[in-house]
Structure 1
């Protein structure tokens, strides 16, 4: 462009076809020599004021899509802010020798402002993203947690249309890690599928921790990733990452969505894999494929699965029945895999008077107030459970994975029941393995145990062990070093006040060990990051739980100050969506579990102290209810007020790290 070139000043003609006039701004709103951005419906426009005239054109530079409304007027030309391409501010025409030009529109100045003539908006056509969103909705996805960004806008637009139809809800989070934890918790609680959503590059890699939690704890999750345009993929473009390989280890099913694919069937396979295998499915959507037109029909689950209530062979059931019949003090151990079918297991226990002990992940599967309920076994467990395990002469384990933290004695005779053949004898041989659905197998065992048995009804023994433990807990509630609350007091109060049908999401650390040991569960569901043990789980998980149950049940989350700090800003997400979550925060100003491990290993306590704000005041700044507890006589009223609050609330309790 030479110095003598001048931009065209010819005004844009009024269109011949159907159009509508729209006021875009007041005459005095845009100074001479400036350009700005305005929106009219779904259109974004660049409006200029140069050489005494107004011009209106598409906000998108035809070169690489730069936002012309963020540019500048230089020497009479409208200059794109990205690469310096010039256009006439009056009609969008480029300098002589160039043929690229943004679409420009007729405008006129009226007494009340500047108006533009725009063709009538056409409803967006059906796209690949529409087909896939409708398919995942058919598979039961009603909640998506994520962050909208430049490489997933087409899919986001399809989800927006689905939300407007009432087919799903979208929760915009502050960090994609919270999105995957929320989706994971939804799956852990319901067994149904929720989705998490991120952009290319870091938006998707941020999902990985929560997805690994889903994988190791066998929760169904659908992960959805935007991707850079296919023509720039593999060429070092901005946020260009090989997401297929990055997710290869965590995703049971993973595919890049191609323009020529059968999109409905691809989404069906992803959803089916996640639900049937209780695992992670991952789909990657290149930017341009998301908005490709499509006339495909959505698919769904009809005719895609069959009954899964499998039974062990009769001869194996008969052998298990005989072993149980001959035992005097059998115990039943319930893992997370048996939670959904607990009624059949409890019926078997009641028939033979056997104690029911749970793994930590299965806490809440049976009430601690049931005559046969013995609480949690292992590092987070109760003396009740450990005493009865030690006294047993047979272990019957349903849906338990025999973690090294659980405390199932490997030298005991063990009958293991699981639907997954790989779970049986995973860590050490068992005496008898039964592959079968928990509920089905429990019913078969109960049916075979009619008549004479050597099993001793242990209800009286269990009641005595609970009496001893409750007296010990009462004694511990009096402990006071003058540095904060003790765990026994905190969880006694929480046990008394938490509704029996609540959902409780717990974090990782001393607070969680204390929860397992001291909280007496009634009918609550308890969610945790089990095998992964990821700090920060509780608050995002509570968001996922709330999405599943809404305000029909109370949702409570419990964490330490270290865990809460991981995703503290998600409290604003809870406020934004009116989530009725009560977060109980045990603040000891340190990573107490790590300090304890350093002492146990005879290391110096180092790098575990935390600099914290007033978390209750922080909650109030976020728009939630916040209350701080420093004395034991404040505890009851503080928890009661937080649980009663309509909306998100936080109880900060100053605790003594040595009394957790």
Structure 2
């Protein structure tokens, strides 16, 4: 049987260690599907129900494993559907390869059916972007695409026309020059040096040693540097703020943890940003500058992997280029141990109060069900190595504050893109990557409805994922954003009665349960976690529970009040919920 170009593509990806490709077949990639069939002993093809989900799964695979994620779509509409998930990879700096089909080369430019020039469409999202028009380009361009995705921490794209896919692998129709032929040995990626320059480490140590009220802001780039972050925090006596994508950097019950900053952050985290005199940023390029210290008020040291991003958020006295773990390890012996722990102890007391406040909101007596209680019961029932995936919206607030990082737990969501709908595809990809671990998707009803067909994907694969739908029958985050802007809510509630997604789960052959009574939450979550296969619990929660910032600013409070005065249609139930929240906290 003659080896075809598409087979070489798949072979070379397998040489790179790719073992899974997510996608949907189509007439624009039939040759690639044949290549996958011929190499099915080396590469698994995961059939999904929407190409957007395939791209989310590839991104999740990259986030969780550190290895290249790969997604596949047909020409035209299939390739278009990938884009949202690919932007998730781009904005969160994850190595992903997108493979798409293209019409036969002889008809390009004629307005042929589904003729969409995906290389043009992907010009913004892809770091490497190529239409393969000669079979002998493979596997050389595969190597370049993979290396680019790793080196630039982003998306690479290869598009293969139909006739190229099925052409003999050695066919060279032009023969102008000899094609580049990579060695037959397994390819390798040589990562750049991870240790910052010695003079930068010394300058950073001087700044940190001179600080009186230091703080550490750790992000997703430091997820592999837990021990180093904790060691530096111990020497400096520095509280540690975690970005939301970096929530698993250190445990939430660590004596150094003060939670996050921003709208989903904690009060101690916000107060620390206002109070610190020196900030060490490790593995983060936190984009929300209004939640960072006022420029010029603090001394800033940053460890950043990308020279382009170093120092772009704040005036940075010492920007260091390197890996967070290696940089912190190199910095550690240069730091002077701090004996005065008053600064750290101040924030430990503040965090004790914050944790009490959050626990008080997890009341089983609240009816309608408080979303904080739902997340708290998931947190209590889940294992110490569980992986939680989360969608965007109010649910990210409940997960940020009530999902406790302990043991080897992990937490993943769409960070900088903050798109809806990745929670379920993320969970599927992570269960495939880590089949022995508990994987839970915490999703709002709005996000789940967008890609709910992927629950059927989980059922076909018999994956033991647990999906918990936080059903407030609204687009909750937008509702509260409208009010903070001083506008009465409009166009954000789907309308009662709330949908019942548990019926969909059962129709797919999975476990499905609808919960409307707080007394049933605990049992339903535990049964779902124990189910040998995909399970879904759809919980009606209080739609008027506000995701309040950790520290409410004066302007926010004024605009919130004005929205009420302008005729907020649900002001009575919202006011009642706010009153119950405060009573719960005062009565703890």
TM above 0.5: yes
CA–CA distance in structure 2, aligned partners of residues 610 and 301 of structure 1 = 57
1:368 aligned counterpart, secondary structure: coil
Q: What is the match of residue 83 of structure 2?
A: 208
Give the RMSD, CA atoms, in angstroms.
2.0
Q: What is the match of residue 446 of structure 1?
A: 332
Task: State whether structure 2 residue 420 is matched by structure 1 residue 535.
Answer: yes
Deviates more, 1:288-297 or 1:260-269: 288-297
CA–CA distance in structure 2, aligned partners of residues 415 and 310 of structure 1 = 17
- Any residues of structure 2 matched to 1:352-501 within 5 Å, and which? 352-404=236-288, 407-410=291-294, 411-450=297-336, 453=338, 456=341, 460-478=345-363, 482=367, 484-501=368-385
CA–CA distance in structure 2, aligned partners of residues 155 and 299 of structure 1 = 23
Q: What is the match of residue 396 of structure 2?
A: 512
Pairwise CA distance, 1:353:
2.5
TM-score (norm 1): 0.77
- Any residues of structure 2 matched to 1:24-103 within 5 Å, and which? none
CA–CA distance in structure 1, aligned partners of residues 58 and 518 of structure 2 = 36
CA–CA distance in structure 1, aligned partners of residues 234 and 378 of structure 2 = 29
Q: What is the match of residue 126 of structure 2?
A: 251
CA–CA distance in structure 2, aligned partners of residues 303 and 598 of structure 1 = 52
Task: State whether structure 2 residue 118 is matched by structure 1 residue 233.
Answer: no
CA–CA distance in structure 2, aligned partners of residues 445 and 182 of structure 1 = 36
> Given that residues 255 and 282 in structure 1 are in contact (C-alpha distance below 8 angstroms), is that contact kept between their aligned partners in structure 2?
yes
> Given that residues 23 and 54 in structure 2 are in contact (C-alpha distance below 8 angstroms), is that contact kept between their aligned partners in structure 1?
yes
2:544 aligned counterpart, secondary structure: helix
CA–CA distance in structure 2, aligned partners of residues 398 and 505 of structure 1 = 23
Of the three residues 445, 469, 472, the one matched with 1:588 is 472
Pairwise CA distance, 1:260:
4.9
Q: Which runs of 5+ in 1 are unaligned?
A: 1-123
CA–CA distance in structure 1, aligned partners of residues 531 and 425 of structure 2 = 19
> Given that residues 354 and 457 in structure 1 are in contact (C-alpha distance below 8 angstroms), is that contact kept between their aligned partners in structure 2?
no
Q: What is the match of residue 95 of structure 2?
A: 220
CA–CA distance in structure 2, aligned partners of residues 293 and 396 of structure 1 = 55
CA–CA distance in structure 2, aligned partners of residues 461 and 202 of structure 1 = 56
Of the three residues 510, 528, 539, the one matched with 1:642 is 528
Task: State whether structure 2 residue 22 is matched by structure 1 residue 138.
Answer: no
CA–CA distance in structure 2, aligned partners of residues 455 and 334 of structure 1 = 23
CA–CA distance in structure 2, aligned partners of residues 387 and 521 of structure 1 = 22
Q: What is the match of residue 112 of structure 1?
A: none
CA–CA distance in structure 1, aligned partners of residues 94 and 281 of structure 2 = 20
CA–CA distance in structure 1, aligned partners of residues 487 and 415 of structure 2 = 27
Of the three residues 30, 39, 45, the one matched with 1:153 is 30
- Any residues of structure 2 matched to 1:323-338 within 5 Å, and which? 323-338=207-222
Shift of the 299–577 alpha-carbon distance from structure 1 to 2, 3 Å rule, reads farther
Q: How many residues align?
A: 532
TM-score (norm 2): 0.86
1:340 aligned counterpart, secondary structure: coil
Kindly indicate which of the two structures has a greater share of residues assigned to helix. 2
Q: Deviations over 1:248-299 (max 9, x none)?
A: 1111001111125421101111111112221101000100111111249886
Shift of the 360–268 alpha-carbon distance from structure 1 to 2, 3 Å rule, reads same
Pairwise CA distance, 1:601:
2.2
Q: What is the match of residue 192 of structure 1?
A: 67
> Given that residues 256 and 284 in structure 1 are in contact (C-alpha distance below 8 angstroms), is that contact kept between their aligned partners in structure 2?
yes
Q: Deviations over 1:507-532 (max 9, x none)?
A: 01111122112322213211111111
Task: State whether structure 2 residue 430 is matched by structure 1 residue 545.
Answer: yes
2:303 aligned counterpart, secondary structure: strand
Task: State whether structure 2 residue 178 is matched by structure 1 residue 294.
Answer: no
> Given that residues 539 and 564 in structure 1 are in contact (C-alpha distance below 8 angstroms), is that contact kept between their aligned partners in structure 2?
yes
Shift of the 569–475 alpha-carbon distance from structure 1 to 2, 3 Å rule, reads same
> Given that residues 28 and 74 in structure 2 are in contact (C-alpha distance below 8 angstroms), is that contact kept between their aligned partners in structure 1?
yes
Shift of the 371–146 alpha-carbon distance from structure 1 to 2, 3 Å rule, reads same
Q: Which runs of 5+ in 2 are unaligned?
A: 172-180, 547-588
Pairwise CA distance, 1:436:
2.0
> Given that residues 268 and 300 in structure 1 are in contact (C-alpha distance below 8 angstroms), is that contact kept between their aligned partners in structure 2?
no
CA–CA distance in structure 2, aligned partners of residues 302 and 137 of structure 1 = 9
CA–CA distance in structure 1, aligned partners of residues 231 and 279 of structure 2 = 17
Larger Rg: 1
> Given that residues 134 and 298 in structure 1 are in contact (C-alpha distance below 8 angstroms), is that contact kept between their aligned partners in structure 2?
no
CA–CA distance in structure 2, aligned partners of residues 300 and 385 of structure 1 = 53
Shift of the 300–613 alpha-carbon distance from structure 1 to 2, 3 Å rule, reads farther
Q: Deviations over 1:60-101 (max 9, x none)?
A: xxxxxxxxxxxxxxxxxxxxxxxxxxxxxxxxxxxxxxxxxx
Pairwise CA distance, 1:623:
1.1
Q: Deviations over 1:574-593 (max 9, x none)?
A: 00011121111100111111
Kindly indicate which of the two structures has a greater share of residues assigned to strand. 1
> Given that residues 360 and 406 in structure 1 are in contact (C-alpha distance below 8 angstroms), is that contact kept between their aligned partners in structure 2?
no
Task: State whether structure 2 residue 537 is matched by structure 1 residue 651.
Answer: yes
Task: State whether structure 2 residue 266 is matched by structure 1 residue 266.
Answer: no
Q: Deviations over 1:534-581 (max 9, x none)?
A: 11110011112122112x111111111000001001100000011121
